[in-house]
Amino acid sequence: MPETPDRETSPPALAVVAPPLSVVVPALSVVVPVRDEAENILPLVAEIAAVLAGLAYEIVYVDDASTDATPARLAEALALAPLRRLRHSRPCGQSIAVVSGVRAARGAWIVTLDGDGQNDPADIPRLYAAAQAEERRADRPVLIVGRRDKRRDRLMKRLGSRIANRVRAAILGDATPDSGCGLKIFRRAAFLELPAFDHMHRFLPALFIRAGGRVVSLAVNHRPRASGRSHYGTLDRLAAGLVDLCGVMWLMRRWHPPAARDLDA
Structural domain contains residue 260: no
Structural domain contains residue 261: no
- pLDDT for 23: 62
- Which residues 6+ apart lie within 8 Å of 231 measured at CB? 2, 3, 35, 36
What CATH number corresponds to the domain at position 162? Answer: 3.90.550.10
Q: What is the DSSP letter of 18?
A: P
Which helix H or strand E contains 218, and what residues bound it? strand 214-219
Task: Name the residue with higher pLDDT: 180 or 101.
Answer: 101
| Residue 256 CB neighbours (<10 A) | 7
Domain extent, residue 181, equals: 14-254
Query: Is residue 115 pLDDT above 80, yes or no?
Result: yes
- pLDDT for 157: 67
The DSSP secondary structure of 109-152, one letter per residue, reads: EEEE--TTS-B-GGGHHHHHHHHHHHHHHH-S-EEEEEE-SS--
Sheet holding 83-88, edge to edge: 14-16, 83-88, 57-63, 28-34, 109-112, 184-187, 142-147, 214-219
Query: Is residue 40 pLDDT above 90, yes or no?
Result: yes
Structural domain contains residue 79: yes
Residue from 48, 34, 62 nearest 123 by CA: 48
Structural domain contains residue 173: yes
Task: Name the residue with higher pLDDT: 85 or 172.
Answer: 85
- pLDDT for 253: 76
- pLDDT for 175: 82
Task: Name the residue with higher pLDDT: 121 or 158.
Answer: 121
Q: pLDDT category, 237, cuts 50, 70, 90?
A: low
pLDDT digits (tens, 9 = 90+) for 53-63: 999 999 999 99
Specify whether the backbone of 248 is left (phi greater than 0), alpha (psi in -120 to 50) or beta: alpha
Angle, CA 231 vertex, CA 217 and CA 247 arms, to 5°: 55
Task: Calculate mean pLDDT across residues 197-204.
Answer: 87
Q: pLDDT category, 5, cuts 50, 70, 90?
A: very low
Q: pLDDT category, 239, cuts 50, 70, 90?
A: low
Q: How far apart are CA 58 and CA 25, in angstroms?
A: 9
Task: Calculate mean pLDDT across residues 126-143.
Answer: 93
Structural domain contains residue 265: no
pLDDT digits (tens, 9 = 90+) for 59-89: 999 999 999 999 999 999 999 999 999 999 9
Q: How far apart are CA 2 and CA 232, in angstroms?
A: 6
How many domains, in total, are found in the chain? 1
Task: Calculate mean pLDDT across residues 192-202.
Answer: 89
For the chain, percent of residues with pLDDT exceeding 70: 79
On average, the pLDDT of the chain sits at 85
Structural domain contains residue 159: yes
| Residues 138/214, Cβ–Cβ less than 8 Å | yes
Task: Name the residue with higher pLDDT: 55 or 156.
Answer: 55
